[in-house]
Structure 1
C-alpha cells in the first residue's frame, strides 16, 4: 500500500492497521514542506499536529466503530484530546453516528446515541464545518430494493480552527466504489455553485418581526446541546427565508411596480384610500431597501 500511495505522490504519516475486515486509518500527506507529528493514535482515531505555512493546528482522522458500544471509547478519547490541546483543532471522518433525525432516510434513528454524540462534540467545543454537496454521505440497498441513507461522515472544528481558516468548507463528493461519499475540506474556499451554497446567516432576517420568535421556538425545541440547537435554528431560518421572508430583490421590484401603479391612479383620483395605500407601500418599500442594504 505504501508503494501504491508513493506512486501517487503521497507518503504516510500516521497509520492504524486494519483488524480483519474492520477499521484501518491511513493519514497521508503530499506536502513535504509541512511537518506532521503523531500525537495520539487508537483503533478509531489518529491525531496529528500539522505545522506549515506559518500555521500550526491539530487534525484528528476518525473511523468510528460500527458497534455503538465500541464508539464509547472513541467519544472518551475525543474528550481527553479536547482537555489536552490548546491549538486549533479539526476532526474529520466516518463517525458512524448521526446528530438528528434529519440525517437519516429510510432507517432507524436512535435519540440516545445521537444525544451522546452531540454532547461529546459540545464538550470538545466542536461544531460542524460548513458543508456543501449531498445531504447524506452513506448509502446502502436493503431488502426490497429499499435504500438507507445517513450522514455518517462529517468534519467538525473548534472556533480557533475556524478563525485560522475562515473560508474553509467541506465538499461532499460523488461516491463510486464505496458506499461512502468522500469528503474534501477546502481550507481556502472556492466559489460555490448556485443551489449548493453553504449556510449563511442573513442579518436582514432580524428586521422581520416574526424572526425572533422563530429562533426562540427552534432553540427551545431540543435539549440535546448547542450543536443540535444550532442545526435546528439553521433549518428553521432556511424555511423562514423560503416561505416568509422571500427574495428581497423580487419583493423590491414588486413593490416598485405596485407603488408606481398606485401613484399613477392618484394622478387622476384623490381617493384617500389610495393615499393611505401609498403610505403603506412607501413604509414597506423603505424597509425592503434597509434589508437590501444589510444584505
Structure 2
C-alpha cells in the first residue's frame, strides 16, 4: 500500500465505486504514514492496525455519515459495529486478514468460533483469509440457507504449470444479516497493482425487476371471501370458444384477485404490525372486562395472521419442508431471500466480452 502504484489503483477503485467503507489489507504502513493515504483517498475517518515487521497492516476507512465503532483490532482482524441512525439498527462486522503462515491461521479460526458462540444479532465477515477452507462448514457451521459465501480468486501471476489460482477471499453473513439486507450482492474487481482481487459489497443495490407477474397466494384460501371472488368471476358470461371462455375468466379472476387483495385482504405484514401495536396499547392501559375480551380477540387475530404469514413464506421459499415450530417463519423467510438472491441477474457479459448492467440489456 505504500507504493504509488498501489495507491493509484485503490484511488481509481474509490473514484469508480465511491464506497462508504473501505477495508485495506497488507498496508505495510504505520498509522502516521497511513494518514497520508487517508487524505489522498478523501476519507475523513479511519481505524487502523500498524504493520508488524515487513508485512501486515489493516485499515478501515469510512465516511462521516457512517457510524462505525471499532471494538477490537489486531494483525488478523478488525471487529466492530455499524449503526444506522435512521432505523436504529446495528450489526456486527469482522474484517479478516488470515495469517500467511498456514499453521498460524488456527488463531483466526478459533477466534471466529469463540465469537460466534457469544455474539448475537446480524454479523458480516469478509476479507482475505489466505485459505481455501470452507468457512461455512469448517469454521462457523452456519446452516447452508443462512449464509452467503463468495469465493474469489487469488492469482500468483506465474506462467504455465506454475500458475496457481486459489479461492481465498470470502464474504460470509449470518441469517440475521441477510434478512436485514435482502438485496445484498458482491462483485469482484481485478487490480493491476496486486495479484488479489477487490471485493465490492453492495448492501442495498437497487435492481429494476420490472412488473411483478401475478401469483396466487395459498394464504388467500384461508379467507372465506376468497371463494366469493372465484364464484363471481366464474359466473360471468363470455361469448366464444370454450378455450377463449376459460382464458377470459382466468384473466378476469387475476384482475379481481389483485383488487380484492389490495382493498380487502390487505398487506399481511402491515396487519401483523398493526395488530401487535394494538395489543401492546391494550396491555399497558387500564384493564376491564371489556378490555380483556379485546385482548383475547386480538391475540386470536394475531395467531390467524401468523398462520397466513407462515403459508406465505412456505410458498415463496419453494420448499416442501414444513417446520413444526411455534408459528416461526424464520426458515421460510431465509429460504425465500436465498432464492431471490440466487435467481437475480444484475449483470451479464455480452458478445464483445463487456459487462453490461442496464436492465433492458440484461433482460
TM-score range, shorter chain: 0.5 to 0.7
Does 2:76 correspond to 1:44? yes
Aligned-pair RMSD on alpha carbons? 3.5
Per the alignment, residue 156 of structure 1 pairs with 172
Q: 1:11 to 1:60 in 2, by over 3 A?
A: farther
CA distance in structure 2 between the aligned counterparts of 1:126 and 1:16, rounded to whole angstroms: 34
Secondary structure of 2:197's aligned partner: coil
Secondary structure of 1:43's aligned partner: coil
CA distance in structure 2 between the aligned counterparts of 1:61 and 1:204, rounded to whole angstroms: 31
Per the alignment, residue 328 of structure 2 pairs with none
Q: Which has the higher contact order (CA 8 A, sep 6+)?
A: 1
CA distance in structure 1 between the aligned counterparts of 2:36 and 2:159, rounded to whole angstroms: 39
- Deviation string 1:149-202 (CA, Å, 9 cap, x unpaired) is 11111110110000000000111112211110000000112449xxxxxxxxxx
Post-superposition offset of 1:124: 9.6
Q: 1:148 to 1:190 in 2, by over 3 A?
A: farther
Contact 1:97–1:117, Cα closer than 8 Å, also in 2 = no
Contact 1:65–1:96, Cα closer than 8 Å, also in 2 = yes
Contact 2:152–2:170, Cα closer than 8 Å, also in 1 = no
| Aligned match for 1:62, one of 96, 100, 106 | 96
Secondary structure of 1:151's aligned partner: strand
Aligned structure 1 segments of 4 or more residues deviating by more than 4 angstroms: 123-128, 203-207
Choose 49-58 or 151-160, whichever is displaced more: 49-58
Q: 1:11 to 1:80 in 2, by over 3 A?
A: farther
Aligned residue pairs total 184
Q: Which has the larger Rg?
A: 2
Does 2:124 correspond to 1:94? no
Per the alignment, residue 293 of structure 1 pairs with none
Contact 1:130–1:170, Cα closer than 8 Å, also in 2 = no
| Aligned match for 1:118, one of 137, 142, 152 | 137
Per the alignment, residue 9 of structure 1 pairs with 42
In structure 1, runs of 5+ residues without a counterpart are 100-113, 193-202, 208-233, 239-295
Contact 2:78–2:95, Cα closer than 8 Å, also in 1 = yes
Q: 1:206 to 1:87 in 2, by over 3 A?
A: closer
Secondary structure of 2:183's aligned partner: coil
Per the alignment, residue 148 of structure 2 pairs with 129
Does 2:88 correspond to 1:18? no
CA distance in structure 2 between the aligned counterparts of 1:9 and 1:169, rounded to whole angstroms: 25
